[in-house]
Amino acid sequence: MANFDSGTSGGSRIVRRFRVITIIELSMLVVFAFLPLLLSVVWSADDSFFWIVFTTKVLILSLFGLSFDLVWGFGGMLSFGQALFFGGSGYVVAVLARDLDVSSAFIVIPLSVIVGLILALLLAAFLLVARKPPSLIFIALGSLTGAYAAERLARAWYYLGGQNGVSVTHPLTIGNIELYEGVGFYYLAFGFLFFVYLGCRFLVRSQFGLVLAGIRQQEERIKFFGYQVQTYKVIMFTLGGGIAGLAGGLYAFHEGFVWPTLMGPTYSTQAVLYVLFGGVGTLAGALIGVAAIEFATMFLADYFQNIWPIILGGLLLVVVVFRPTGLVGLLVSERERIGSFRWRGNKKEESGNE
C-alpha cells in the first residue's frame, strides 16, 4: 500500500481521486432518500407500494451486506456464518413478539443489536482468541459450522416453530405509531442504514481502520508493533454481528416471519455473494452488490426460474476468478478503492516534537 503517505504534494491529486466513491455514495443517498416520492409520481399507488416494500427489503439486506463487508473486507476474517447473527436476532425478536407481545421499536431494535453483538462476541471469543493466531480456514469453517448447527436446531425445535418458523403478527410500533410495510418502514430502514453507513465510513477511515488495514497486510508485523491483534479482530467481528443483528430484527418485522434458512449457510452465502459482487473492502460496494443482485433476481428469476441459482453461482465464480474487486472495481481506481487514512493529530504531534 503505497498511499499511506498523505503528503502535501499529493494532496490535490487525492482530493480529485476521492470523487468517484463519494459521487456513488451521494447519488445512492439521493436516490434512496427520494425514491418513495419518485415512485408515487411515476406509478399508481399499488405499483409504487410494491416497489417501496421491495426496496425496504433491499435496504435491510444492505445492512446485512455491510456487516459482512466489515468483517471480511476490513477485518480480514472470512465469516461464512454471518447469517447466524442475522437470523438469530430475527428469531429472538420474533419469539418475543409472539409470546410477550413486545413490538415497541425502542425495545426491539436495541435488543436485536444486542443479540447480534452477544452471539458474535461469543463466537469470536471462541474462534479468534488463542495463543496461536487461528487460520483463516478455521474461522471460515467455525462460523459456517455455527450457522449450520443453528439452522439444524431451529428446524427441529418445536418452540421455534420447526420448519415453518415463527410468524410476526405485530407491526413494529414507535409510541402510538404502528409501522406497517410501506413508506414508514422504508424511512426507518433508510435512517438506520444511513447512520450505520456513516458510522462504518468513519470507523474504517479512522486510526482503528488503519490498524486493521495493517493487520490485513502483515499481521505479524503489527503484532510486533505491540498491537493486540486479536482484540482488534474480535471488536470488528462483534461489530459486524451487531449490524447483522440489527438487520435481522428489522427483517423479521418487515417480512412478518422468520424461518430456519435465515440462520443457515444459504443466507451466509448470500452475504458473501452480495459483497464480492459489489466490491469487497469498499462500503459502497456492499450496497451496490445487494441492490444489483436483489434487483436482478427480481427481474430475471421469473424468466430463468430453474437456472437462476446456477447463474448466481456462475456469477460468483466469474467475480472470484476474474474480477476480485467486484463492480466497484470497474468504476473506481485501485488507489481510491483502498483509500487513505485520516490522522487528525498529525500536525500537533509534529510541532510538539520539534
Partner 1 sequence: MESVLTIGFNILSFSSIIVLVVLGLGVIASMMRIFNFAHGEFMLLGGYTAYLFYIWNMPIWLGILVAPFVVAFVGLILERTIIHRFYAAPIVAMLGTYAIGVMIRESVRGLIGGLYHQVPEPLVGFFVIGDISVSKWRAVVILVTILVVSGSYYLLKKTSFGLRIRAALENPELARVSGISTSQIYAATFSFGAGLAGLAGAMMVPLFTLYADMGVRFLIQGFLAVMLGGIGSFEGPVLGGAIIGVLTAGLPHLVNPVLADVLVFVIAIIAVKLKPAGLLSMRRE
Q: Is 125 in the site for partner 1 (CB under 8 A)?
A: no
Q: What minimum distance in Å lies between the beta carbon of 93 and partner 1?
A: 23
The 8-class DSSP code of residue 167 comes to: E
Closest CA relative to residue 186, chosen from 37, 345, 6: 37
Binders in 154-183 for partner 1, by CB under 8 A: 155-157
Distance, in Å, from the CA atom of 326 to the CA atom of 290, rounded to the nearest integer, reads: 12
The residue from 8, 44, 135, 351 that contacts partner 1 (CB under 8 A) is: 135
Residue 132 lies near partner 1 (rule: CB under 8 A)? yes
Q: Is 114 within 8 Å of 75 (Cβ atoms)?
A: no
Least distance in angstroms from the C-beta of 281 to partner 1 = 13
Tell me whether residue 252 is exposed, middle or buried, using C-beta atoms within 10 angstroms of its C-beta: 0 to 12, 13 to 18, 19 or more.
buried
What is the grid cell recorded at 99?
Answer: 409470546
320 contributes a contact to partner 1 by CB under 8 A: yes
x/- map, 56-95, partner 1, by CB under 8 A:
----------------------x-----------------
Question: How many residues interact with partner 1 (rule CB under 8 A)?
Answer: 38
Half-sphere exposure of 209 (CA within 13 A, CB side): 21
Q: Which is nearer to partner 1, 46 or 334 (CB)?
A: 334
The DSSP code sequence of 270-313 is HHHHHHHHH-TT-HHHHHHHHHHHHHHHHHHTTTTTTTHHHHHH
C-alpha–C-alpha distance, residues 261 and 304, integer Å: 22
Tell me which residues in 242-261 interact with partner 1 (CB under 8 A).
none
148 binds partner 1 (CB under 8 A): yes
Query: Is residue 152 at the binding interface for partner 1, with CB under 8 A as the rule?
Result: yes
Q: Which stretch binds partner 1 (CB under 8 A): 45-53, 114-122, 215-223, 311-319?
A: 311-319
Query: Does residue 38 interact with partner 1 by CB under 8 A?
Result: no
Encoded amino acid at 183, one letter? V
Whole-angstrom distance, CA of residue 237 vs CA of residue 78 = 10
Nearer to partner 1, 299 or 322 (CB): 322
Q: Is 153 in the site for partner 1 (CB under 8 A)?
A: yes
Phi-psi domain of 168 (left: phi exceeds 0; alpha: psi -120 through 50; beta: other): beta
Q: Does 310 bind partner 1 (CB under 8 A)?
A: yes
Query: Residue numbers of the site for partner 1 (CB under 8 A)?
Result: 78, 126-127, 130, 132, 134-138, 140-142, 144-145, 148-149, 152-153, 155-157, 265, 269, 272, 276, 306-307, 309-310, 312-314, 316-317, 320-321, 324
